[in-house]
Amino acid sequence: HAPVTTNGSAVHVLCPEDCDIELLENGRTIDDFINIKIKELTSEDNEEPFFVANLDSMFKRHLKWLTNLPRVKPFYAVKCNNTPAVVQMLRALDTGFDCASKGEIQLALSLGVSPEKIIYAHTTKPLSHIKYACSHGVNMMTFDSEDELLKISLCHPKAKLVLRIAVDDSKSLLRLNLKFGAKLEKVSKLLERARELDLNVIGVSFHVGSGCTECASFKQAIADAKEVFDKAKMMGFQMTLLDIGGGFSGREDFEVKFEEFTEVINDALDKYFPPESGVKIMAEPGRYYVESAFTLAANIIARRVITDDMKELCNGNNENCPDKMMMYYLNDGVYGSLSCLINDAAHTAVEPYLHRAVDSSEQRYPTVVWGPTCDCLDKVTDNIWFPELQVGDWLLIDNMGAYSVSLTTDFNGFERANIYSVLSADILHALNLSHTYKIMQD
């Protein structure tokens, strides 16, 4: 399924049967899929939680990327969601991949990604993982210290190195630069060391922090990178690659629109790295591609009705005070698919909603939703009013694609949620047609 174009580059046609992707045909929608799946599971007495991965959404977000950041080649950060169908969809869309370890490189290669389309974007790598990258043709990798340079010179002396610099991430929900990135004043020394070791440094990377809320962070980081390019040039290095990292939200309702970021980024790129500079630009988006594509469906497996302390809860306001509050226990929680609630500073709250329709006139009650394990930390939300629900009801949670499936545990023996990846037949057709067109053009 990877015909080779006459100019030698592989084109990947997406083949749903090979990728565990279900096709939505004849106008069937994601909602139809979820309804059918819940009906099917219920009829089998199976209440296991599941994700639906909406690959149409990833396709649309990719088009948005191409439209708004035409100069920036995305290398999807696999750590954000390592579902094979996600990787296969993005491979078909011709993105590159940011891998953080041997395991992620193995996954990408096993799904047909070519090694030139991988950057090993971790600055602190185990020796054996560097050796693995070397023996499998993965040459691009990041570094930010002299020790790392020494390791790379021993295990992968022909690597194409990208110097990760520390940038201001104070306006991001999840900061990364305390742990990674060389300070600007250390750059010259690092480059000198690279030269002594006869290593090939091809460019600069940074990460403004995940869930960035301030366009100016990118502007400043791009200006910082230009400073490094200039220093390197004076030292005789000819750098050709700028990697602007990740940090873009994947939610449509995020406080700053993607287009606001891209306008600032494009201006900064044109100012500091204009097309005639010949510098190639790439990025490492993670949540951008997957966050809004995944919906989690979880089942209420137990409940408790609380009738005491209601007056206290209502702060003495007896008139509208409900006579009870409800506690529901879902079969997925913070040790499973909702791990973001404790692990991801950029996703600290979720808004479950009821799958079945309810009458708007139904009485609502203050509600706490718990996860299934024996731990009190395992709370999904306590900030919601629901009608009275029953064991067996399903709740849905949107925007669950980022740092969720890749961070789950099987604590208490609860199984990980199944993932059903779905794609509209029309989009598959358009995607594969565009590949055919490319081949014909070549």
Q: Is 394 in the site for ligand PLP (CB under 6 A)?
A: no
Q: How many residues does the chain have?
A: 442
CA-CA distances (angstroms) from residue 48 to 41, 139, 157, 317, 432?
8, 42, 49, 40, 34
Residue nearest to ligand PLP (CB): 246
Shortest Å distance, C-beta 77 to ligand PLP: 4
Max Cα distance, the chain (Å): 78
Binding-site member from 14, 77, 222, 427 for ligand PLP (CB under 6 A): 77
Judged by CB under 6 A, the stretch of 41-49, 270-278, 282-290, 406-414 that binds ligand PLP is 282-290
Q: Is 336 in the site for ligand PLP (CB under 6 A)?
A: no
* Angle (CA) 115 187 233, round 5°: 80
Site for ligand PLP in 14-53 (CB under 6 A): none
**CA distance linking residue 194 with residue 187, whole number of Å:** 11
Binding-site member from 49, 246, 371, 401 for ligand PLP (CB under 6 A): 246
Shortest Å distance, C-beta 238 to ligand PLP: 24
Name which of 335 and 403 has its Cβ closer to ligand PLP: 403
Q: Is 285 in the site for ligand PLP (CB under 6 A)?
A: yes
**CA distance linking residue 93 with residue 339, whole number of Å:** 29
Take residue 294 and report the two structure tokens written for it: 């995944």
Going by C-beta distance under 8 Å and a sequence separation of 6 or more, which residues neighbour residue 403? Answer: 79, 80, 81, 286, 287, 339, 340, 343, 344, 347
Shortest Å distance, C-beta 284 to ligand PLP: 4
Place of tokens 């819940």: 38
Q: Is 245 in the site for ligand PLP (CB under 6 A)?
A: yes
Q: Name the burial class of residue 377, with classes exposed (0-12), middle (13-18) and buried (19+) by CB atoms within 10 angstroms of its CB.
A: exposed
Q: Is 181 in the site for ligand PLP (CB under 6 A)?
A: no
Torsion angle in degrees (nearest 10) through CA of 323, 329, 335, 340: -50
Q: Is 74 in the site for ligand PLP (CB under 6 A)?
A: no
Place of tokens 């400073």: 227
**CA distance linking residue 432 with residue 58, whole number of Å:** 15
Describe the chain by its helix, strand, coil percentages, rounded to 5. 35, 25, 40
Per-residue exposure over 199-221, b if at least 16 CB sit within 10 Å of its own CB, e if not: bebbbbbbbbbbbbbbbebbbbb
Q: What is the CA radius of gyration of the chain?
A: 24
Specify whether 374 is catalytic. yes
Q: What are phi and psi of 302, to 5 degrees?
A: -160, 160
DSSP 412: G
DSSP 10: B
What is the pattern of x (binds ligand PLP, CB under 6 A) and - over residues 80-119?
A: x-----------------x---------------------
Shortest Å distance, C-beta 288 to ligand PLP: 6
Shortest Å distance, C-beta 212 to ligand PLP: 8
Q: Is 61 in the site for ligand PLP (CB under 6 A)?
A: no
Name which of 169 and 332 has its Cβ closer to ligand PLP: 169
Shortest Å distance, C-beta 9 to ligand PLP: 24
3-class DSSP assignment, residue 302:
strand
Q: Are 176 and 123 in contact (CB under 8 A)?
A: no
Judged by CB under 6 A, the stretch of 29-37, 43-51, 283-291, 380-388 that binds ligand PLP is 283-291
Shortest Å distance, C-beta 279 to ligand PLP: 19
Q: Given 15, 215, 374, 376, which residue is catalytic?
A: 374
Judged by CB under 6 A, the stretch of 194-202, 239-247, 257-265, 407-415 that binds ligand PLP is 239-247
Q: Is 176 in the site for ligand PLP (CB under 6 A)?
A: yes
Judged by CB under 6 A, the stretch of 3-11, 85-93, 279-287, 293-301 that binds ligand PLP is 279-287
Binding-site member from 12, 151, 226, 287 for ligand PLP (CB under 6 A): 287
3-class DSSP assignment, residue 108:
helix
Site for ligand PLP in 119-148 (CB under 6 A): 121
Shortest Å distance, C-beta 298 to ligand PLP: 24
Binding-site member from 247, 333, 352, 366 for ligand PLP (CB under 6 A): 247
Name which of 181 and 336 has its Cβ closer to ligand PLP: 181
Judged by CB under 6 A, the stretch of 187-195, 257-265, 280-288, 328-336 that binds ligand PLP is 280-288
Q: How many CA atoms lie within 13 A of 400 on its CB side?
A: 31
Shortest Å distance, C-beta 348 to ligand PLP: 15
Residues in contact with ligand PLP by the rule CB under 6 A = 77, 80, 98, 121, 176, 207, 210, 245-248, 284-288
Catalytic residues: 374
